[in-house]
Amino acid sequence: MTRQLHLNAFLMSTGHHEASWRLPESDPFANTSVQHYQSLAQIAERGKFDSIFFADSPVLFGDVGRRPAGSLEPTVLLTAIAAATSRIGLIATASTTYNDPFNLARRFASVDHVSGGRAGWNVVTTAGPEAAKNFNLADQPAHAERYDRAAEFLEVAYKLWDSWQDDAAIADKSSGVWALNDRVVPIDHVGRHFQVRGPLNLPRSPQGHPLIVQAGSSEDGKGLAARYAEAVFTAQQTLEDAQDFYRDLKARTAALGRDPDTIKILPGIVPVIGGTVEEALRLEQQLDELIRPEYARLQLARTLRVKPEDLPFDQQLPDDLPDEDEIEGAKSRYTLIVTLARREKLTVRELIGRLGGGRGHRTFSGTPEQVADAIQDWFEADAADGFNIMPAVLPSGLTAFVDEVVPILQRRGLFRTDYTGTTLRDHYGLARPAGRTASLQEATA
């Protein structure tokens, strides 16, 4: 069988285009509607997607005037979706900067239990000073410090997930012994950021560990991904950039002694699908015309750490922007936006149009055949192991992808026609991690 694509549906209220909520078809209260998301997940499951995914940040970000704002906490939302689906993987974003490992490790293990082994965790360090102010801090911890904490956070989480052996509970009713004490052990973690005694207050979950996903593309972000991630979301504008990123991250992974095939790299794509090219472009244009540029400029100014007045709509970006080194927030997104604007000599207005669709992700408008080609090209050119599908409008953009693009990919032998496993790890072709306690015991036995 040829190498198989992996597809993740990145879901966001009425769609990734910031003006999608203004279309007549859109439910502007979709952001708090569990029925909306359950139905999207069912569409993605019908399309045999590996997983669905929710981004998240513990702060109300940007301007509530601009687009539907506020969102359901992702582990809660995915649990509600678990009940309405049976196979598709469920990936929630959670911050290592503004959570603590005991509670979060338990919550992901709980979602894994409740969903029968379908939980994934997008591990993020949360960029920006705004979030910090919701957690007793005046400003965010430095970028390097956040990533240092993230690595230790994951180490603690692994230890907690493995603190119960899979076979700890023997449930012997006649002798009255429920579990064996030496199979449930404290972790006694003592580190720079955390002291955690353990064990977890929950037996080991169906997948052992939830799938670990990572989505920051700075140097530190790639370092974390190479060490821990099993799937990586990334924003790449050109084939060459995507190939460089892919090569780099696979090499880093191999250099750490991991099989590079155990890390799946999924660039984002915002497909705008039409029956003809003209129809697709018309839809894209209709959406772009609904953007309110003053809101979008405010957001851009915030990302670039300049004042909105410094960004006249009909001029290119100012020359004296800071280096990535000086950015303590989202380094890789910053660089992507500046590089895109400079390379294509875009005015602020044009840049806003380009970002309105996918916030830095690649937008591709065309027929189903053309979208399938775009996916296949990158896949076969070693730029991707699959894609993070980010429909501009929801649900219609997802329905179009599932009904029109997926069958083409299936006919070309690039994508599954049915699920072959039951867990999220099964879908991504990743093994269930052996319990560390168990292997420790074997090693010393």
Ligand X SMILES: Cc1cc2nc3c(=O)[nH]c(=O)nc-3n(C[C@H](O)[C@H](O)[C@H](O)COP(=O)(O)O)c2cc1C
# chain residues binding its own copies, by CB under 8 A: 76
Q: How far is the CB of 294 from its own copies (least distance, A)?
A: 10
Angle between helices 331-343 and 293-304 (to 10 degrees): 120
Whether 26 has a binding-site annotation, put simply, is no
Q: Does 158 bind its own copies (CB under 8 A)?
A: no
Reference 58, options 72, 77, 42, 79; nearest CA is 72
Q: How far is the CB of 306 from ligand X (least distance, A)?
A: 18
Q: Find the DSSP H helices in 90-189.
A: 101-114, 129-132, 143-161
Reference 4, options 409, 408, 404; nearest CA is 409
What binding mask, one character per residue, do residues 332-371 give for ligand X by CB under 6 A, x or -?
xx--------------------------------------
- Whole-number Å distance between alpha carbons of 91 and 428: 13
Q: Which of 9, 16, 21, 378 binds its own copies (CB under 8 A)?
A: 21
Q: Does 49 bind ligand X (CB under 6 A)?
A: no
Choose the one of ligand X, its own copies, none that binds residue 388, judging by a C-beta under 5 to 8 angstroms depending on kind: ligand X
Q: Please tell me what DSSP assigns to residue 404.
A: I
Q: What are the two backbone dihedrals, phi and then psi, of residue 231, each rounded to the nearest 5 degrees?
A: -140, 145
Q: Does 86 bind its own copies (CB under 8 A)?
A: no
Q: Does 234 bind ligand X (CB under 6 A)?
A: yes
What binding mask, one character per residue, do residues 193-232 give for its own copies by CB under 8 A, x or -?
-xxxxxxxxxx-----------------------------
Which residues are within 8 A (CB) of 227 and not within 5 positions of it... i.e. 6 or more apart? 151, 256
Whether 158 has a binding-site annotation, put simply, is no
Q: Please tell me what DSSP assigns to residue 164.
A: B
Q: Does 111 bind its own copies (CB under 8 A)?
A: yes
Q: At CA 46, angle to CA 44 and CA 52, rounded to 5? A: 20
Tell me the residue number closest to ligand X, measured at CB: 216
Q: Does 250 bind ligand X (CB under 6 A)?
A: no
Reference 36, options 81, 67, 76; nearest CA is 81
Q: What are the two backbone dihedrals, phi and then psi, of residue 159, each rounded to the nearest 5 degrees?
A: -60, -40
Instruction: Specify the stretch interacting with its own copies by CB under 8 A; choose among 17-25, 326-334, 359-367, 387-395.
Output: 17-25
Q: Does 244 bind its own copies (CB under 8 A)?
A: no
From the DSSP assignment, how many helices (H) and strands (E) are in the chain?
Answer: 16, 13
N- to C-terminal Cα distance for the chain? Answer: 41
Instruction: Specify the stretch interacting with its own copies by CB under 8 A; choose among 55-63, 218-226, 277-285, 434-442.
Output: 55-63
Q: Which of 22, 252, 349, 412 binds its own copies (CB under 8 A)?
A: 22
The helix/strand/coil state of 170 is: strand
Q: At CA 330, angle to CA 32 and CA 324, rounded to 5? A: 160
Q: Which of 2, 176, 325, 418 binds its own copies (CB under 8 A)?
A: 176
Q: Does 68 bind its own copies (CB under 8 A)?
A: yes
- Whole-number Å distance between alpha carbons of 273 and 399: 10
Whether 419 has a binding-site annotation, put simply, is no
Instruction: Specify the stretch interacting with ligand X by CB under 6 A; choose among 120-128, 391-399, 404-412, 434-442.
Output: 120-128
Q: Which of 15, 210, 221, 358 binds ligand X (CB under 6 A)?
A: 221
Q: How far is the CB of 131 from its own copies (least distance, A)?
A: 9
CB 289 within 8 A of CB 299: no
Q: Does 71 bind its own copies (CB under 8 A)?
A: yes
- How far apart, in Å, are the Cα atoms of 345 and each of 182, 313, 316, 341, 342? 64, 13, 7, 6, 5
Binding-site annotation, residues for FMN: 56, 93, 143, 147, 217-218
Binding-site annotation, residues: 56, 93, 143, 147, 217-218
Binding site for ligand X (CB under 6 A): 55-57, 93, 124-127, 215-218, 220-221, 233-235, 268, 330-333, 388
